[in-house]
Chain A
């Protein structure tokens, strides 16, 4: 008997004679069948679908490359892992193992960092909300408290009086860096003198140690020049602290905001071709600091709180095709088993999506929908994919940042997360949620029990 031919659904595709669409459509026909040498099919079989997969090798590679970009240019550099980007303990501990401090923005993140064994003085406490309890804990542990507003400043002064302790603090500064809108909702403004006023109050109070200055000028920043402006303004403040207030500044924390190579929705060229590299940012920041007028031995420690750029491309989301469906206007759509609640970043990126099994080069333009019974659940409005069968797998790329913290339990449960170690061994680092887990915090009043 002769070998039968491989089957593929028959389809015809209209040749385009419409207007030029300069955006074109990305062709994603090339199959990706493994991650770090571990077969996707095997991962899905063992851990079910959908499934987040993180590559430890890539995380460490990103961290080391980024650190090298800075410490080959500047003598004193410290990274602090941005917990909100991805606070799975396994992930945090990889960064801590590499030497990273912790940067947290809430009480629970703070406690997570402590539980991960981070020394109190290596935890940076940012953010507009820190409860009295949080602040007391941070003071006790000698952590770095970054003050966001005057109410917090005054609250801290009273706590210092009550406890008799002298916490180490920094002032968060916002400023015009030529990138708009200005993130002026966080911290004290540089241009209108508010930042200087806060600094002066802290020093004059004599109740706290002003050890640092902090800024975080935006997110997914595509301009390196803005960091040059920020570094220059921060340096000016630091030098003024020393000369005018006789309070030398130990560190400048320039925050995060470096972009990953994802393609933003609405962007014309893909992220990989347009996003500045960490080296580009490092060059601008360190050159500015080195030329700002510090004596060499008085150069402040440079702290960076990068998240996204260190982990986005180390994360993958594996999923499966549920169904093919033709829409009323003739377009093909594919329904998959992960929705916008799981892949939160699909709201602002056009994620690259690849088939996870060999397929023909004949592709068709499709709309990609998630499984939610909600109209908003659309992952890609237009993507070229080969014919897919129910049960076929897909890989979404560069999902390591913000998904595993912003995902929602909505209609479907949050999936499991697997880490592939440097020896290509997969480890389950977060179990898939279950109904039992979901209902654990629920309390059912007695009179509503046993309702038929």
Chain B
């Protein structure tokens, strides 16, 4: 999944979608994932890295990843494919 290129994210975890004018906050892990997505990492890479950094089973992460993508879609932050 790719973030839209013009999405503005900040170190504090703010997200601004210039296309809609909406702003979002994110919890620390969401901010970390957004940074990785912006850096162009693949989903698989990001998940591997998360498993490495966080105390989480891959099954649980997989489940939450679905929800995460749903949230980004809902917020209109993903590149249409």
| A360 within 8 A of partner (CB) | yes
CB distance from A9 to the nearest CB of B (A): 5
B64:A12 contact, CB within 8 angstroms: no
Within 8 A of A (CB), among B64-78: 64, 67-68, 70-72, 74-75
CB distance from B77 to the nearest CB of A (A): 8
Query: Which residues of A are found within 8 Å of B23, using beta-carbon distances?
Result: 14-15, 17
| A326 within 8 A of partner (CB) | yes
Which B-chain residue is minimally distant from A324 (CB atoms)? B67
Main SS at interface, chain B: helix
Bound-complex Cα distance A9 to B33 (A): 11
Within 8 A of A (CB), among B9-64: 15, 22-30, 33, 53-56, 60, 64
A5:B53 contact, CB within 8 angstroms: yes
B64:A13 contact, CB within 8 angstroms: no
Bound-complex Cα distance A15 to B22 (A): 7
Bound-complex Cα distance A65 to B31 (A): 50
Bound-complex Cα distance A5 to B64 (A): 17
Query: Which residues of B are found within 8 Å of A360, using beta-carbon distances?
Result: 27-28
Residue in A4, A9, A12, A324 whose CB lies within 8 Å of B24: A12
B55:A5 contact, CB within 8 angstroms: yes
CB distance from B53 to the nearest CB of A (A): 6
Query: Which residues of A are found within 8 Å of B26, using beta-carbon distances?
Result: 10-13
Bound-complex Cα distance A17 to B75 (A): 15
Bitwise interface map of A from 9 to 30 toward B, beta carbon under 8 Å scored 1, else 0: 1111111010000000000000
Query: Which residues of A are found within 8 Å of B22, using beta-carbon distances?
Result: 14-15, 17
| A330 within 8 A of partner (CB) | yes
Known: A10-B33, A12-B15, A12-B75. A326 touches B25 (CB 8 A): no
Bound-complex Cα distance A324 to B74 (A): 17
Query: Which residues of B are found within 8 Å of A9, using beta-carbon distances?
Result: 29, 64, 67-68
B55:A11 contact, CB within 8 angstroms: no
Query: Which residues of A are found within 8 Å of B25, using beta-carbon distances?
Result: 12-13, 15
Which A-chain residue is minimally distant from B75 (CB atoms)? A12
A-B contacts at CB below 8 angstroms, number: 67
Residue in B15, B55, B64 whose CB lies within 8 Å of A10: B64
Bound-complex Cα distance A261 to B9 (A): 43
Which B-chain residue is minimally distant from A13 (CB atoms)? B25
Which A-chain residue is minimally distant from B64 (CB atoms)? A9
CB distance from B68 to the nearest CB of A (A): 5
Query: Which residues of A are found within 8 Å of B67, using beta-carbon distances?
Result: 9, 324, 326
Bound-complex Cα distance A362 to B53 (A): 20
A10:B30 contact, CB within 8 angstroms: yes
Which A-chain residue is minimally distant from B53 (CB atoms)? A5
Which B-chain residue is minimally distant from A331 (CB atoms)? B74
Bound-complex Cα distance A13 to B15 (A): 10
Bound-complex Cα distance A309 to B75 (A): 46
Bound-complex Cα distance A13 to B33 (A): 15
Which B-chain residue is minimally distant from A10 (CB atoms)? B30
CB distance from B4 to the nearest CB of A (A): 14
Residue in A6, A17, A387 whose CB lies within 8 Å of B54: A6
Bound-complex Cα distance A11 to B31 (A): 9
B70:A326 contact, CB within 8 angstroms: yes
Query: Which residues of A are found within 8 Å of B29, using beta-carbon distances?
Result: 7-10
A362:B27 contact, CB within 8 angstroms: yes
A10:B27 contact, CB within 8 angstroms: yes
A4:B54 contact, CB within 8 angstroms: yes
Query: Which residues of A are found within 8 Å of B74, using beta-carbon distances?
Result: 326, 330
Bound-complex Cα distance A12 to B33 (A): 11
Query: Which residues of B are found within 8 Å of A6, using beta-carbon distances?
Result: 54-55
Which A-chain residue is minimally distant from B23 (CB atoms)? A15
A326:B53 contact, CB within 8 angstroms: no
Query: Which residues of B are found within 8 Å of A387, using beta-carbon distances?
Result: 27
Known: A8-B29, A324-B67, A387-B27. A14 touches B75 (CB 8 A): yes
What are 8 A-to-B residue pairs whose CB atoms are below 8 Å?
Answer: A4-B55, A6-B55, A8-B29, A9-B68, A10-B30, A11-B27, A13-B26, A389-B60
A9-B68, A12-B71, A326-B67 known, 4 other contacts, Cβ within 8 Å: A5-B54, A324-B67, A360-B28, A362-B28
Going nearest first, the 6 A-B pairs with the smallest beta carbon separation are A10-B30, A7-B56, A362-B27, A7-B54, A4-B55, A15-B23
Binding site for B on A (CB under 8 A): 4-15, 17, 324, 326, 330, 360, 362, 387, 389
